[in-house]
Structure 1
Amino acid sequence: MSITKGDITANIEHHKNKPKKIFFGMVSNMIKHVFLVFRTYLDLFIDLVYGYFWEGKRTPIPDLEKKHAILTESAVTLAKKIRNKELKSEDLVKACIERIQQVNPIINAVTDERYEGALKDAREVDKLIESGLTDDYFQKKPFLGVPFTAKESHAVSGMRHTLGLLCRHHVRAHEDAECVRLLRDAGAIPVAVTNVPEVNKWMESRNYVFGQTCNPHHTGRTPGGSSGGEAALQASIAVPISLCSDIGGSTRMPAFFCGLYALNPTSGYTSLKGSALRTGEEKSMASIGFVSRHCSDLIPLTKLVVTADKTPELNLDRAVDVKQLKYYYVDTAQDLRVSPIAADMRAAMNRAITKLTADTTSTDNAPKPYYHAGFNHMFVLWRYWMTHEEDCFAKLLTNNTGTAYFWKEFLKKLVGMSEYTLPAILKLADDQVLPPVNKQWAEKLTAELKDDLIKLLGEDGVLLFPSSPTVAPYHYSPIARPFNFAYWAIFNALQFPAAQVPLGLNSDKVPLGIQVVAAPRQEALCAAVAAHLGEALGGAQPPCKINQ
């Protein structure tokens, strides 16, 4: 092969530029390191300031009385006991209502209730069972007589359906959302609806209609959003089934903050009809999901809300041997918008890696580090794909009677006249003021990350991923760190299934955890690994004493 003069010139230029590239690379890394150190101390300062105000407001929730101990059992177990006439539905629903009435004055989770209606439904279930039912009937109604609650953005017929908006404070649902209907068809009994942020778009469950929901593990901290009311009740051992949804971590975030299991299924496999005013025809990266103290409930409940003709595609009943799976992990992302990973969160990840390393049958399957440049831009990628959602936040804020505008609402906020919280107004700024994300760049990077992960994970691999940089933050402090939810949101953008795994508590008795992510339609892997790790490393811990 002949070498041309141009080749020689190019080679000379390459060697001339190499020292410059090395120099600029070193400078870039130094700046990045300085910034991360700054962010670390900034986070410590934020926690110090907010902790000074909220740490002293930590109020314990009531201990679980012996007569309510039945609520510690899984929804699957409770359904079986009702079916076998070992437990009456009325007694279970009564225990659920009494426990909610004990804890709700402290956590402020419930926005509307149908206690009398639920007890009436339960008595009818008990009569049916006493009259004699076939196994076929129970198969069609696997959760017959088991009470549930739903986040208030899911329409529950006859109950308030405000979405946290003052302009909808009087609105009640005229029919059930599809996910609620499916739960009712399975025999479950709706008891109450729970608090959300305005139109589900914030990391805290707070609004001007119902106020602020508190984390039962630490009432000075948020239970998360948007399914914060559900997670707070579930963690308080007040309800067997908690119906949620997730478009940017809205199921997994509250599960993590409150120390619960959660499963967010592959996008497009659950109906959103009647949830946050959707028709069900929209294409969305949102999914219907559940939070629970019992990982064993997640797959049976998810099966209920998966669109019937798509159920076989997910293979939710697939048998999984966790010792034969391939494991990968990301211990921290390099997205400079989010906070650095805290020491207790890093320790939780290390415990999971150590456990799986010991459990795998081959060194080829032992957890291996993985990284992709897409994780450097988690928030921006999610922000871009949010522009593909068919609903309009600015219109939803007005109950679709007009459009809310950032500058107008911001000025009204300054003089105390806006009907919206500051996070909602900042969301308007994000939609209306900040420049859009570059379409070609975002779609190319998303496709590269998605394709690389699908190829890596296949049908027998999972990715361990941090849940968040920190444990549940103090109330209002997320406004100072608004991008930290990106650790959950990136998998909505990719449309991957993900499970949230509780891993006990930190030294401050606040929940720890990680995410388990799999390729599309591999929910069974997520659930199996979540169950394995949760059982071994602390799982869901109660926020109160349980009297047996």
Structure 2
Amino acid sequence: MQSLFERIDRLNGKYNALVSLDRPRALQRAREADLAQARGQSWGPLHGVPITVKDSFRTAGLRTTAGYAPLRDSVPDRDADAVARLKNAGAIVIGKSNCAPLCSDLQTRNDIFGTTGNPWEAGRTAGGSSGGEAAAVALGLSPLGLGSDSGGSIRVPASYCGVYGFKPSIGKIARDGLIPPLGDPAREDSLTVVGAIARSVRDLALSYSILSGEPYGIDAAPQHAPRIAWTGEFPRQLMDDEVSSALEAAYRTLSDSGASVEKVEPPLDLHFLNFKYFMLNMYEFSPRESSPGLHKLFWLFESARSVFSGGIEANYKKLKADQREQVDLFDRFAQQFDCWALPATPTAAFHHQKSGRPIPIRHRGKSKRYSYWHATGGFAFLANFLGCPSVAIPIGRDRNGLPIGIQVVGRREQDTALLRTAAHIAERIGSTMPLAT
């Protein structure tokens, strides 16, 4: 614990990954862990393991802001359910990591704590909204980070920072104590999940077992070589040439390893699905406080449209029907495979810039500026919309030394099976990077 805090003192100032530290209590708890171990006692599978927690999870006695200025001085009196589960397994919370305001951006910066830099080049984004967690794990400031994912918020920063991230199936892990929502939500959120960021699939699997209560099943002997569907190109969704090259090289390596890998056409219309995701995000997740202007425009549009569709609730019911139809389409496709592999992000980490502005991308030899949301979460939104589990796996770096990742998507409710397949893939093409400094 002392060594970890020394590393935090040395590196965190440059990258701004951790924003609130609990040093006295963490050191005291570490001493207690040593004494318990000396007596032959075990607190659980995470006995004495230091962890960090995204600043959107309530932590008893430790400031929790969700990057939202009105919560600047908020100190909860109890832990979020996920935090309590990790602590009950023996983990020691050392601090909170920076996040986008109310978890509503794919970069990490806010008016309270400022901007989190990418561990491989501080002038570039660490992603968001769990960017502080991904940066902390990549920098070796924490071996395990607790995050949340409503539209790529674990997987995008994991890919940008070169670490592993897991978005479980919807409903697998309790969200009690996670901000947002700020008040009573009008509709049930079918997008947001609690998950983890770590430096291996095995650590993701262990944390998932603790958080979900499901047995740790990643070491079970596979009944067959994993059947992997692989898609590297999508109509109307651009991807940087270096990401394309890295994916093609990873595909060849995986195929040469003897894995059963089949290149397939996209099983879903990604452009249609992403549009529906944006709509559902506005209905179920996006807090009005995060972007009041956008919310006003959206609800004006929906009100005008509802005149011809039977009302706002009719619009929402149609949207949920579209979601169920897409889930059914994917389920039929996924029955043939153990996972579907596709890019994690369309580009490597880009330089810090104002949210919403187009992102530079080089596609098929031509430089372009691409829509902000499609250039960041264009491959990530689908897993939230479908409610499926997904694992981000680093596979290499671009010419600037910036990480590139893939994600593997599994069948809904088959989280442990997906983690087992992800571990198989990571052993062959995963890139466990040295600690960033």
TM-score, shorter chain, exceeding 0.5: yes
User: Partner residue of 1:383?
Assistant: 278
8 A Cα contact 1:271 1:280, kept in partner: no
How many angstroms does 1:158 deviate by?
1.1
1:253 — aligned with what?
Answer: 156
SS in 1 for 2:14: helix
- The corresponding residue for 1:165 is 68
**Do the aligned residues in 2 keep the contact of 1:322 with 1:529 (CA within 8 Å)?**
no
Does residue 131 (structure 1) correspond to residue 32 (structure 2)? The answer is no
- Equivalent position of 2:125 in the other structure: 222
Q: 1:105 and 1:527, CA in 2 relative to 1: closer, same or farther beyond 3 A?
A: same
Render the CA deviation track for 1:132-191: whole Å, top value 9, x for unaligned.
22xxx55xx110101111010001111111111221211112110000000110010000
Aligned to 1:235: 138
- The one-letter code of the counterpart of 2:201 is C
Q: 1:125 to 1:318 in 2, by over 3 A?
A: closer
How many Å apart are 1:354 and its aligned residue?
A: 1.7
1:393 pairs, out of 287, 298, 308, with: 287
1:285 Cα deviation after fit: 2.2
Query: If each structure's helix is expressed as a fraction of its own residues, which one has the higher value?
Result: 1
- Give the whole-Å Cα distance in 2 for the aligned partners of 1:374 and 1:442: 16
**8 A Cα contact 1:379 1:483, kept in partner:** no
Cα 1:112–1:440 change in 2 (3 A) is closer
Q: Measured at CA, do residues 123 and 543 of structure 1 come closer, stay the same or move farther in structure 2, by a change above 3 Å?
A: closer
User: Is the 2:338–2:421 contact (alpha carbons within 8 Å) kept by the matching residues of 1?
Assistant: no
Distance 1:518 1:405, change over 3 A: closer
1:293 alignment partner in structure 2 = 199
Q: 1:114 and 2:22 equivalent?
A: yes
Q: How does 1:261-340 map to 2 (within 5 A)?
A: 261-278=164-181, 282-306=188-212, 308=213, 311=214, 316-317=217-218, 319=220, 321=222, 324-334=225-235, 336=236, 340=238
2-structure distance, mates of 1:374, 1:444: 16
**Higher Cα radius of gyration:** 1
Partners in 2 of 1:366 and 1:213 — Cα distance? 37
Identical amino acids, percent of aligned pairs:
27
Residue 513, structure 1, aligned to residue 405, structure 2: yes
Distance (Å, rounded) in 2 between the aligned partners of 1:275 and 1:96: 26
| Matching of residues 449-464 of structure 1 within 5 Å | 449-458=326-335, 460-464=337-341
Alpha-carbon distance between aligned partners in 2 of 1:431 and 1:525, rounded to the nearest angstrom: 39
- Between the two proteins, the alignment pairs up a number of residues equal to 409
When normalised by structure 1's length, the TM-score is 0.70
Paired with 2:60 and 2:184, the residues of 1 have a C-alpha distance of: 17
- Identify the range of structure 1 (216-225 vs 278-287) with the bigger mean alpha-carbon deviation: 278-287
| CA distance in structure 2 between the partners assigned to 1:523 and 1:205 by the alignment | 27
Residue type matched to 1:325 in 2?
P
Distance 1:255 1:520 in 2: 21
Pairwise CA distance, 1:378: 3.3
> TM-score, normalised to structure 2's length?
0.86
SS in 1 for 2:123: coil
Give me the whole-angstrom Cα distance separating, in 1, the residues matched to 2:168 and 2:161.
Answer: 20
Contact persistence 2:268–2:329 (CA under 8 A):
no
The residue number in structure 2 matching 1:446 is: 323
The equivalent of 2:380 in structure 1 is 488
Partner of 1:12: none
Q: Check whether the contact 2:81–2:175 (CA below 8 A) recurs between aligned residues.
A: yes
Alpha-carbon separation, structure 1, partners of 2:219 and 2:424: 16
* Residue in structure 2 matching 1:198, options 101, 112, 120: 101
CA-to-partner distance for each residue in 1:183-230, whole Å, 9 max, x for gaps? 110010000001111100001110111110100111111101111111
Q: Distance in 1 between matches of 2:113 and 2:67?
A: 7
